[in-house]
Structure 1
């Protein structure tokens, strides 16, 4: 009994003596795909927005985005486990996925790449034969997101869900950029059920490209309607930061505290609810 009391007092004293982590001690991780991945110097033809996020954080920013990955393949290839292994309690893990998740698992374009998931946020599954010749149970996008949220919390990290950057899909004779993307809406739905902060990155990027107009916006997509050049990546980075500055919900205030004065200098207004 005396030993237990002494041990308790010793641990309490040690705990009180330990320094409280500051925002500079906290790391921010980005789990995403090629739209966020870094491609080296900005002289390259294509660049992901994660390349330009570093200067906006007082915290250490870690870009773990990997080209061609979906929620399913990011987990199955061990990239997710590698990310979690680098985290410490109190770190933030931003999950922005969706570009590579669409498709029919086990068929068509998914053959050999093993990345398509089922649409939606339910508990539906399908059994497929993957590229390794093994049977694999594939789940919905929402199910994989819920796993990532739960895994983050197990290691003490704070999960954050983010809408994906938009494709350049224009309508009305190339005057209106599509605002709504189903995988962004799935992320939004999961954020509500799991009580997780949601960053409406999609809406803020759409607003920026819409302001530029079709002709100028398309100059920022040299190879296709998904991947930006360096200037387009900077716009997506600024829209990401703006979506965080304008966010409301669980952990929003604390997460904003990881940003520095450069974030405030972006100077873009928050969008009203009608736009989003």
Structure 2
């Protein structure tokens, strides 16, 4: 796959002679959507899990999640460039996307929103008219993730991919849906690009499944996607579990960004 690279990022390099930053000097960025974004509790009853992640890290945690964004729109609106502009060599950039990437680009519900991408991890493209009336070449979810990985590495940061938190979609009110295409695509890209993968989906599903349909549904006050504060805290804990249970190259080093609270989080891999 070929992934475009912001021109200004190509100038950024990380010298092999640079010492490895200490965990407390590292920043951990989160690129995500409304399921992770922070909200003012005086204005809404929904909250994203990123709102509660700070104390779980000894490193500085920076929540750049923004509601309603997909990989495509996060990049196209300049939010991605803003995040990278704050990153330094040795920082981590966690990318958890998927909730807004579904749909058909340029048609139906995507008109005026410009966020739907093509499914999968291939090199397929489609040209659509975006909200500005311009021709836009839309790529696959995996291609946008690949671009984000390449861009992160260009500024010396370490990309990490994470599976999306689940929606409250149950079968017969007893079994919560366990797999989501965007999570599996993230996993595939992480394997092909040698990136740490956090199976946030699996550990969040396990927690909600353990509570059962009735109790879990109470944490979703407005729809099947957005949690209240209690649900957000649960998703924050399951996110930390996904870090503690991560395997493969780079996983152990990433775990060192966790605080004592993070490392003490109860978990079952």
TM-score (norm 1): 0.90
CA RMSD of aligned residues (A): 1.5
Q: Residue 19 and residue 101 in structure 1: after superposition, are their counterparts in 2 closer, same or farther (change >3 A)?
A: closer
Q: Is the 8 A contact 1:43 1:230 kept in 2?
A: no
Partners in 1 of 2:145 and 2:59 — Cα distance? 24
8 Å contact 2:120–2:142 — kept in the other structure? Answer: yes
**Structure 1 residue aligned with 2:4:** none
The answer to whether structure 1 residue 29 and structure 2 residue 29 are counterparts is yes
* Change over 3 Å in CA distance of 1:42–1:35 after alignment to 2: farther
How far, CA to CA, are the matches of 1:123 and 1:42 in structure 2? 44
The whole-number CA distance in structure 1 between the counterparts of 2:176 and 2:43 is 27
Where do 1:218-257 residues align within 5 Å? 218-257=217-256
Residue number in structure 2 paired with 1:12? none
1:131-210 superposed matches below 5 A:
131-171=131-171, 173-210=172-209
**Counterpart check, 1:266 vs 2:269:** no
RCO (CA 8 Å, sep 6+): is it higher in 1 or 2? 2
- Runs of 4+ aligned residues of structure 1 deviating over 4 Å after TM superposition are none
Deviation string for 1:39-68 (max 9, x for gaps)?
A: 024884000000000000000000000000
Alpha-carbon distance between aligned partners in 2 of 1:20 and 1:216, rounded to the nearest angstrom: 44
Q: What is the DSSP-based 3-state SS (H/G/I as helix, E as strand, rest coil) of the residue aligned with 2:104?
A: coil
Whole-angstrom CA distance in 2 between matches of 1:136 and 1:60? 36
Partners in 1 of 2:19 and 2:222 — Cα distance?
A: 49
1:19 is displaced (CA, Å) by 7.1
Measured in 2, the distance between the counterparts of 1:229 and 1:34 equals 12
How many residues matched? 254
Match of 2:45 in 1: 45
Query: d(CA) in 2 for partners of 1:43 and 1:150?
Result: 37
- Structure 1 gap segments, 5+ residues each: 1-14, 271-276
2:118 maps to which residue?
118
Whether the 8 Å CA contact 1:105–1:118 is kept in 2: the answer is yes
Q: Is the 8 A contact 2:161 2:198 kept in 1?
A: yes
Matched residue SS, 2:127: strand
Contact 1:53 1:237 in 2 (8 A): yes
Q: Which residue number in structure 2 is paired with residue 97 of structure 1?
A: 97
What secondary structure does 2:23 align onto? coil
CA shift at 1:256, angstroms?
Answer: 0.2
Contact 1:105 1:116 in 2 (8 A): yes
Query: Where does the alignment leave 5 or more consecutive residues of structure 2 unmatched?
Result: 1-15
Higher Cα radius of gyration: 1
Q: 1: CA distance between counterparts of 2:127 and 2:196?
A: 32
The equivalent residue for 2:107 is 107
SS at match of 1:93: strand
Cα gap change, 1:112/1:269 in structure 2, threshold over 3 Å: closer, same or farther?
same
What's 1:88 paired with? 88
Partners of 2:226 and 2:123 in 1: how far apart? 31
Q: Distance in 1 between matches of 2:188 and 2:181?
A: 10
Moved more, 254-263 or 205-214: 254-263
